[in-house]
Chains A and B, each alone.
Chain A
Amino acid sequence: MGRALESAEESVVIRGLVRFLDERSGTAPFVKKALRYVFPDHWSFLLGEVALYTFVILVGTGIYLTFFFEPSTASTYYAGHYAPLRGHEMSVAYRSAVDLSFKVRAGLLMRQTHHWAADVFVASIVLHMLRVFFTGAFRKPRDLTYYLGLTMLVFALLEGYLGYSLVDDLLSGMGLAIGYSVLMSVPFVGANLALLVWGAPFPGKAEFWSRMYVAHVFLLPILIATLLALHLFLVAARHHTQFRESRRTTEKKVVGIPTFPGYAPRSLGLFFSVAAVLFLLGGLVQINPIWLWGPYHIAQGTNGAQPDWYLGWLIGALRLVPNLDVTIGDYTLVPNAFWGGALFPLLVFMLLYLVPWLDRRATGEYGFRNLLDRPRDAPWRTALGAALFAWVFVIFLAGASDRVFVSFGISYVAQLWIYRVLVFVLPLAALIVTRRFCLALQESERLGQIRKQAEAEARGELPQTEQL
């Protein structure tokens, strides 16, 4: 009784809203459709939304930062309150970032929240992608959606790297120096590419800073936002996938909750949760204390400089590849940095882009796939995915080997050799174990069903024919 009344009231709200918009824009059919859009109901579908909302926070805090940050390499001297920097020569960019942290109202909160959001943004994209991969959600007709998502990940990595580099503190400078040498290492075209981007040999021309800035605050965010809009449009156009939950869910029919009144409040709740977590971190946990690092001057460095976590796998790869330069006479054709810094990520992303195609080839399924697999239902895909993940993960861990050495005293060289073995062994082990595990799960499920049926028959009930 109560529920019926409630939903009647709610539909009045919907009707009012739709009428308001329709009278002014003629979009009633679209709005109605959007409000009645059905969301499948499983928590893992929310991971992508976390990424979306993190992006919103990134843009919001980022806009605040642009009001105060000056992207200039012009030289200046610090004369503020912070004693260890007083009298230091530094770029205007760095000084404005320090002032932003110490003087601007809520500046440090915004800067830290922005940085935490960047870390969490990539983390949530990765989680979302794992969900999509292991349930087979990337299959036709959603392969295009998948490609868009993957491209956003590439842009997100680049965007994060630029943000880290713009500040011109000691870690920024070292990160850029590594980026420069990796780009230089690309055979044949590397040197020209690096000169094109930097404008001059490292540390480059002043224009390089405005290039980075334009890319960071304008080009890449707009690109990501555009891809995001397309991504969401495609999701809606082809509808969400769903698990095969009951007989009601089929390839043709979606079961779940409509946008309004069911889903919108949940989604809003999730947005507030994301904002709360990010701002709490931004206010309570220090991230990238640039005032401690000091300004960057060429050829200076600090021990243990690291990129943000999402580029850690590249540092790991740079460390694991044995010293291997390909030379012709005096000419170094392929410097060592190429293998770990350029070839490795290219390979990983190529594999990821090929996933839908490889899956089609392997399974021979060219039709529409609207129902998700549970990971165990596709043992080979799950096992291969686990292997790829294990491979990248080991290399990622190797990126922190120096810290592990300092903190836990495990010999650095020994670690590198262990990782060099694990890089080959662990993916293989993950492959075998995961496949076995999937098959065992399937088997135990089958046995359980048989037992249930037998028990039902023993009790004299009719055999259940519900097929999962």
Chain B
Amino acid sequence: MSEAISFRFLIDGDDFTSAGNASVQVKKMLRQLNFDAETIRRVSVAMYEGEINMVIHANGGSADVNVWNDRIEVVLADSGPGIPDIDLAMQEGYSTAKDNIRSLGFGAGMGLPNMKRYSDDMKITTELGRGTTVTMSFFVNS
């Protein structure tokens, strides 16, 4: 795989019950491509957190996953409200999730910190009223 294998998913912002399906599919595909269990776990958990964030906070978006032998990249892009203060949003425990979301077990303010911890590199670009793009890179254990 010197050329990347690429996958694209559209994440529905209204459908909470199917949120996470893209991450589950990516997990299956990485398994078929014979990546190690720890890499698969890091990528799929971090992608799921980002996928859920787009559903909860941004009314959906898209996920692009690019896979090389030694590296995996996940790009989550939405046209939601943007993040006013990224440093604040990155703090453990900071959340603007509403009560109905919290009752489902989300809203602990741990998603972005988890994404940062599980990825080897994470970049957030955001513009108020226009949207947010989170790019995560993962180096494959060898």
A associates with B:
no
Give A contacts to B, CB under 8 Å: none
